[in-house]
Every structure is written in structure tokens, then in C-alpha cells.
Homo-oligomer: A and B are copies of this chain.
Amino acid sequence: MDGPHTDKRQAILETALGLFCERGFHGTPTSMITREAEVATGTLFHYFSTKEALIETIYLTIKGEMREALCAHIEPQDPVGEQIRRICANYIRWGVENARKFQFMEQFHNAPQISAHAHEEGMAQFSFVHDIVQRGIDEGALKPHPTGLQFSMFGASTGAVVRLILSGNGGEGIDALIDQAIDLIWDGIAAPAASPTPPR
């Protein structure tokens, strides 16, 4: 899989990711990417037909990695509550440990031109979370509010925690903060009957 060329291609991808995060898509000319990656202009366009194709490649790669990270230690037979709490923790940890990639995704989501087709696709990728939330509602573990609402708030809250930690305003204990955040999110969506903070 590692062809002889891969290092230049990889250098472009990684340099671009960094610059996009620092300066935004449009604030980063291709010339800047090639200069920093120490490759020629032509090399970039040899691997990626357009600048947009480069952005999309980065997006798809990260999306895959993210999905992978989210699924870690999730067993279908586990109770819904545990699965959701684990997905939540996985996402926060991934975001904190992959700050640049997290920021790239945030930027991508809010880019008006791009988001149209990609937003749909991105949502579809994470439909398994949607399904788990749905199951939680069916089983009575979650409040009987619309799935879409719960899913949205779950995602937004989790992202907010990552941003808080990355901005450095989260105090010292990151692990403790993550636990507290999961409790807040869980108490919001969990059915009152269920224990507010079930045993881990």
C-alpha cells in the first residue's frame, strides 16, 4: 500500500491539514501548501486534480478515522446507556487528541459551499449512533423526545466539551471534566426513571 510516491502525497495532505486549520480553506493558497510541504506546484495537482479534491480527500480520511474511534469498545449487546456514554467518551477523547482534525471537521461543516452534499453523506456515516439513540428511546432508557432532537443535542454537547478543553478553559483535570460532561449529557437525554448516572 505504501508506494514509492506516498511520502510526497502524505506530506501534502498533512501540511494542508495544518494550514487549513490555522488559516481556513480560502486563506490557504495551494502555493503555500506546496512551499511548506517542499514539493512543486505540479506535484500537488498530480495527486489532487483540484484544491477542492484535496480538501475532500482530507475530509473523507478524517471522517473514516473518526468513525473508527467512535466505535471503539462498543458491543451491540451492551445496554444502550453504556453504549451512548462510551461513544460520548470516545468522541471527546478523539477530539482532544486530534485537535487539528477536529477543527478541520468543524470548519468543513460550516462552509456553505461545500457542506451541501457532504453534510448528508457525513450524517449517513454516523447513522449507527442515530440507531442506538432510537433503540434507547424504544427501550425506554431515553426520554421519548424526537430522535433527531436527542441526536443533535448529543452531538452538539459533545463537541462543545471538546472545544472547551481545547481552548484551555476547562480547568486542570481533563479526565474529570470528561466524566462530568458525560453526566450532564446523559442526565439531559436519559429517562427520569433510569438512574441519573448509572454504574460504569
**Shortest Cβ distance from A181 into chain B, in angstroms?**
6
- Say yes or no: B189 contacts A112, CB within 8 Å: no
Q: Is A64 interfacial (CB-CB < 8 Å)?
A: no
Decide if A85 is an interface residue (CB 8 Å cutoff).
no
Q: Bound complex: CA of A156 vs CA of B27, how far in Å?
A: 26
Q: Does A192 have its Cβ within 8 Å of any Cβ on chain B?
A: yes
Q: How many copies does the complex hold?
A: 2
Return A106 CB to nearest CB of chain B, in Å: 5
- A160/B171 in contact, CB under 8 A: no
Note all chain B residues with C-beta closer than 8 A to A177. 146, 149
List chain B residues, Cβ under 8 A from A24: 26, 111-113
Interface string of A17-59 (1 = CB under 8 A from B): 0000111111100000000000000000000000000000000
Is A170 an interface residue when CB atoms closer than 8 A count as contact? Answer: yes
Decide: A152 and B145 in contact? CB cutoff 8 A. Answer: no
User: How many Å lie between the Cα of A103 and that of B113 in the bound state?
Assistant: 13
Which stretch, A7-15, A71-79, A131-139, A161-169, touches the partner chain B?
A: A161-169
Are A148 and B170 in touch, CB under 8 angstroms?
yes
Does A146 contact B160, Cβ atoms closer than 8 Å?
A: no
- B27 near A27 with CB under 8 A, answer no
Question: Judging by beta carbons under 8 Å apart, are B27 and A113 in contact?
Answer: yes
Flag whether A80 is at the interface (Cβ < 8 A). no
Contact status A170-B149, CB under 8 Å: yes
> Hey, what's the 0/1 contact readout for A107-121 against B, CB within 8 Å counting as 1?
101111100000000
Q: Identify the 9 closest CB pairs spanning chains A and B, nearest first.
A: A188-B188, A26-B26, A156-B160, A156-B156, A152-B160, A110-B110, A152-B164, A184-B188, A145-B180
